[in-house]
Structures are given as C-alpha cells and as structure tokens.
Amino acid sequence: MGVLNVKELKAYYKTDIYGVSRTVQAVDGISLEIHENEIFGIAGESSCGKTTLIKALSGTIRPPLTVMGGEVVYNFEDRSVNILSLRPDELRKISWEKISYILQGSMSVLNPVRKIHKTFYDFFEAHRKIENQQDFMKQMRDHLGKLGLPADVLKSYPHQLSGGMRQRVTIALATIFKPNVIIADEPTTALDVVVQRGVLQLLREIQQEQKNTVILVTHDMAVHANIADRVGIMYAGRIVEDAQVDDIFENPIHPYTKHLINSLPMIGDKSYKGSIPGAPPNLADPPKGCRFHPRCPYVMGICREEVPPMVNVESERGPRRVACFQISKEGDNGKS
Ligand SMILES: Nc1ncnc2c1ncn2[C@@H]1O[C@H](COP(=O)(O)OP(=O)(O)OP(=O)(O)O)[C@@H](O)[C@H]1O
C-alpha cells in the first residue's frame, strides 16, 4: 500500500459558454501508487494535464473542473482518506500539516508586505497554538539552520531576497510540520540552472531527513533526472509509463517516452534531434483508443480502437508499468 493510491481518476473541465458545451478530458483514467519516502516525478509536455492532476491530488476541485470518477486515497499513519470526499474544514486540517505544497513562484505563499518571520508566525499559528514567542522563533531559526538558510532571512521582506532564496524559504515553510507528502509544482521553473541545482539539492536533503514523499511535477526532464526516484510520463491526460528514473532515461519503453528522451540534448551528441510528426491532441476531442496513436510510428489496428491498459513490465530496478499494445499484446502473444 502506497502513501497515495490514485484509482481510475477522471477530472474534466465542463464549460457552457453562450450555449456551447465543451468538455476537456484533462485527466482521464489515471491510476498510480506513490510510496513513502520517495520522490515521484510527473513529466509531460504543456497541456497534458499535469496541473489538473495536481488539483485533484490536492483536493482543490473548483468549477469548471469536475471529478467524473475515481478516488485519491492518502494512507497516513492514523487513517486513510479519500481527499475528494473531504469537507472543506477537513481538507484545511490536513493541508500543510500532512500534505504541503511548493508552488512555482514563491510570492503566492510569501506575503510581500510582511517580513518572513511574520509570515512564518501567521502560517504556524493558523495550524497550531504558539505558547511562547521566543521558543517559536528559536524553533524557526533551527529549522532554517537545518536547511542551510541564514537566520537573517527571517528579518527580511520577500522582495529583499533573491528568487532562489525565496524558493528556499517556501521549502522551509512547506516542511515546518514534517508533512507526509509534499506536492511540488514546477518548483524551479522560474530559476536559472545554477540556482535551480541548489534548490533541488535542498529539497532532496530535507526529504531525506524528514522521509516525506515528494510529488514533483515539471515538464523539465533534467529536473527529474537530477532528483526523482521514479517518474510517471503523462501524455494527453493519461499516464503512459512509470518506472524508476534510470529505467526511464536508459531504457524508455513507450514510444512517447522514447521520443521525449531521445529529443533531450546531450553534451557531445551532435546528432539531429527530430520531432515526431503531428501535435498533441485537443483534449476536448481526443482520438479514440490510445491517445498517442495518430503520432505513433508503431501504430497497430487495436491502438485506434481500444485504450491500452497499464501492464507491469519486469525490471531489476523496481516496479515498472507501461500502457502500450506493443507490450501488452506481445505478452498475450496476440499481435494485431
Ligand atoms: N479552467 C479551464 N477550463 C477549461 N479547460 C482548461 C482549464 N484549465 C486547463 N484546461 C485545459 O485542460 C488541459 C490540461 O491543462 P493543464 O493545465 O492541466 O496542463 P499542464 O500539463 O499543467 O500544462 P502546463 O505545463 O502548460 O501548465 C489543457 O487542454 C487545458 O487547455
């Protein structure tokens, strides 16, 4: 049993503008098991549904987003909860204490007109009673110290800090309560590569110390290569492959994953990096069967008709699954 079990999750945007109804199938039948004490990366190009998946995993479903089916179950030490069936007050109770967030652009959590120590105070007080202000400040300084941050940042306003430092402060905020799960959405996208490396290292260090599970969403494959233990590859609202990070990079199986990996620039490799023909589908009108089939160089008849199931594939490195009829039909000895 994982710390998070997602079963057959479907989340669609349903809009009705001037009498024209539109349904965007942004997350369509995702099942996942994410384990304790791992960094699970979710990768995929723009508009494949990563943010929508995160909204569902964090229970923040607002119209026009609608959950059409499935469940998102967190297994904490004391209980299991389907986050999609929690009342707002129940959701507030577990947010930040058991499930916390590191978002792109630190300013969405740091109040620009309050010094950092006041933000920490407000944030902490919203969840737990502060008995003694001095003890609290010492606790905050110790926490920042563990993260290698100077205590001085507490006296600063957010605008006085660099982007990298602000993102480190948001990591400190997100880990104050030692949450079971941290959802990080494009945490380093706004930072340059050198600062990015430091922020990722910090995230890895605190994860190793606190043994949390990190769900890291980014389109940047280099970030996954750097920090993830396992990676799930999304294409057009579905997970097409998930495996240990080394399996994904060294031996991708799904034709889309292969394309994604082969298109990465490598030092010293001067070969031509071609792109696959076509474009990702419109999720308001996705193709039948496998959503990658119109672009797949290995397409078979069945791919145009049926959705390929996720099947387990053997790997010495750990659990590995792929949704491709090339694999499942070979296993069945039933090539079509
Ligand atoms: N509020 C909305 N109303 C209607 N459709 C939406 C809405 N938000 C997102 N979508 C659509 O849902 C699909 C998935 O979008 P989503 O933002 O989840 O993708 P993403 O992978 O996070 O993309 P990016 O990396 O660009 O943020 C896209 O087709 C997008 O246009």
Tell me, what's the ipTM? 0.98
**pLDDT for 273 beyond 80:** no
Ligand 1 binding pocket includes 271 (Cβ within 6 Å):
no
* Residue 25: CATH number of its domain: 3.40.50.300
Ligand 1 binding pocket includes 26 (Cβ within 6 Å):
yes
Ligand 1 binding pocket includes 3 (Cβ within 6 Å):
no
Average pLDDT over residues 134-153: 90
**Residue with CA at minimum distance from ligand 1 atom 20:** 47
Q: Candidates 52, 104, 189: which one to mutate for ligand 1, based on the most atoms within 8 Å of Cβ? A: 52
Ligand 1 binding pocket includes 313 (Cβ within 6 Å):
no
What pLDDT sits at residue 189? 83
What pLDDT sits at residue 107? 65
Ligand 1 binding pocket includes 334 (Cβ within 6 Å):
no
What pLDDT sits at residue 336? 39
What pLDDT sits at residue 62? 94
Distance (Å, rounded) from C-alpha 165 to C-alpha 152? 12
Structure tokens given for 174: 């997100």
Q: Does some domain include residue 112?
A: no
Domain that holds residue 244: 2-98+179-266+274-329
Q: Does some domain include residue 162?
A: no
Distance (Å, rounded) from C-alpha 189 to C-alpha 202? 15
Q: In sequence order, which ranges of 60-174 are alpha helices (DSSP H)?
A: 88-94, 116-125, 133-146, 163-174
Percent helix, strand and coil across the chain, each to the nearest 5: 35, 25, 40
**8 Å CB contact between 209 and 146:** yes
**Residue with CA at minimum distance from ligand 1 atom 14:** 49
Query: What is the DSSP pairing of strand 181-185 with strand 213-217?
Result: parallel
Q: Does some domain include residue 63?
A: yes
Distance 125 CA to ligand 1 centre (A): 34
Q: Does some domain include residue 241?
A: yes
Average pLDDT over residues 290-318: 95
Q: Does some domain include residue 232?
A: yes
Does the pTM exceed 0.95? no
Average pLDDT over residues 98-125: 87
Q: Does some domain include residue 169?
A: no
Burial per residue of 224-234, b for 16 or more beta-carbon CB atoms within 10 angstroms, e otherwise: bbbbbbbbbbb
Residue the block writes with tokens 């009673």: 129
User: Would the CA dihedral through 56, 196, 2, 8 be positive or negative?
Assistant: positive
Q: Does some domain include residue 244?
A: yes
**8 Å CB contact between 218 and 189:** yes
Ligand 1 atom with the smallest distance to the CA of 219 is 25
**8 Å CB contact between 321 and 247:** no
**8 Å CB contact between 17 and 194:** no
Structure tokens given for 102: 């590191």
**Count: domains in the chain:** 1
Average pLDDT over residues 174-184: 96
Ligand 1 atom with the smallest distance to the CA of 49 is 18
**pLDDT for 288 beyond 60:** yes
Distance 276 CA to ligand 1 centre (A): 22
What pLDDT sits at residue 333? 45
Put residue 138 in one of left, alpha, beta given phi > 0 → left and psi -120 to 50 → alpha. Answer: alpha
Helix (H, G, I), strand (E, B) or coil at 92: helix
Q: Does some domain include residue 161?
A: no
Helix (H, G, I), strand (E, B) or coil at 107: helix
- In the structure, what pLDDT confidence band is assigned to residue 332 with cuts at 50, 70 and 90? low
What pLDDT sits at residue 164? 87
What pLDDT sits at residue 335? 40
Structure tokens given for 57: 């995993």
Ligand 1 binding pocket includes 139 (Cβ within 6 Å):
no
Q: In sequence order, which ranges of the chain are alpha helices (DSSP H)?
A: 50-57, 88-94, 116-125, 133-146, 163-174, 193-210, 221-227, 245-250, 255-262, 325-332
Residues in the chain: 336
Q: In sequence order, which ranges of 61-106 are alpha helices (DSSP H)?
A: 88-94
Distance 61 CA to ligand 1 centre (A): 13
**Residue with CA at minimum distance from ligand 1 atom 28:** 47
Q: Which of 41-55, 63-77, 159-173 has the lowest mean pLDDT?
A: 159-173
Give the bridge partners for 28, in sequence order.
10
Ligand 1 atom with the smallest distance to the CA of 237 is 14
Ligand 1 binding pocket includes 54 (Cβ within 6 Å):
no
Average pLDDT over residues 88-93: 93
